[in-house]
């Protein structure tokens, strides 16, 4: 049977389209998916109290104007409940859960994530000017969910020096 050139062209084009579709779907499921999942840092929720960082969670200076904050979410509080960091600094939160799925949101900032037992959620924010921000759980986690909240205090540099010396 003789196939016209035109038909060959269309056959070829539809093959290209099919391959392109499969490629897109594969990329969406595997390629992009990998980026959406956090950096994959894991932790055992059963032994958090023995963890070098999560055993005594809080603020740690890691560079000039750079801080790391470890936070543990539990029914129904955050540990520490009040986080004090200096103004105009870069703060990276590492948040995990000691029990069930919680949420972690610093109201009015881009810090907003789910907190899953066994996984460490990492978010970096620039603190900017001094102020007080609500830290809230926005995933239903049980009877006390609505009361699960804390505070992030962004304080002037001088004040922060005072806090850390205590």
Q: Which is nearer to ligand CUA, 86 or 103 (CB)?
A: 103
Q: Which is nearer to ligand CUA, 86 or 117 (CB)?
A: 117
Cα three-residue angle 96-98-101, rounded to 5 degrees: 70
Q: Which is nearer to ligand CUA, 76 or 79 (CB)?
A: 76
Q: Taking the complex as a whole, how short is the minimal distance between the CB of residue 74 and ligand CUA, in angstroms?
A: 8
Q: Which is nearer to ligand CUA, 89 or 97 (CB)?
A: 97
- Interface with ligand CUA (CB under 6 A): 73, 76, 102-103, 137, 139-141, 145, 148
Q: Is 89 left (phi over 0), alpha (psi -120 to 50) or beta?
A: beta
Q: How far apart are CA 125 and CA 85, in angstroms?
A: 11
Instruction: Name the β-bridge partners of 97.
Output: 73
Q: Taking the complex as a whole, how short is the minimal distance between the CB of residue 94 and ligand CUA, in angstroms?
A: 17
Q: Taking the complex as a whole, how short is the minimal distance between the CB of residue 73 and ligand CUA, in angstroms?
A: 6
Q: Which residue has the tokens 């269309």?
A: 10
Q: How far apart are CA 41 and CA 35, in angstroms?
A: 13
């Amino acid at each position: 049977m003789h196939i016209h050139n035109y038909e060959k062209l269309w056959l070829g084009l539809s093959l290209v389209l099919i391959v392109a579709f499969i490629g897109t779907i594969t990329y969406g499921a595997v390629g992009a998916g990998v980026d959406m999942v956090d950096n994959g840092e894991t932790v055992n929720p059963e032994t958090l109290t023995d963890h070098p960082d999560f055993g005594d969670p809080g603020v740690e200076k890691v560079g000039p104007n750079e801080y790391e904050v470890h936070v543990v979410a539990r029914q129904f509080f955050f540990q520490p409940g009040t986080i004090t960091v200096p103004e105009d600094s870069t703060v990276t939160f590492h948040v995990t859960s000691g029990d069930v799925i919680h949420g972690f949101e610093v109201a009015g900032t881009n810090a907003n994530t789910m907190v899953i037992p066994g996984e460490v959620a990492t978010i970096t924010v620039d603190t900017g000017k001094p102020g007080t921000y609500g830290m809230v759980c926005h995933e239903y986690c049980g009877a006390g969910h609505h009361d699960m909240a804390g505070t992030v205090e962004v304080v002037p540099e001088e004040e922060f020096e005072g806090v850390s010396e205590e």
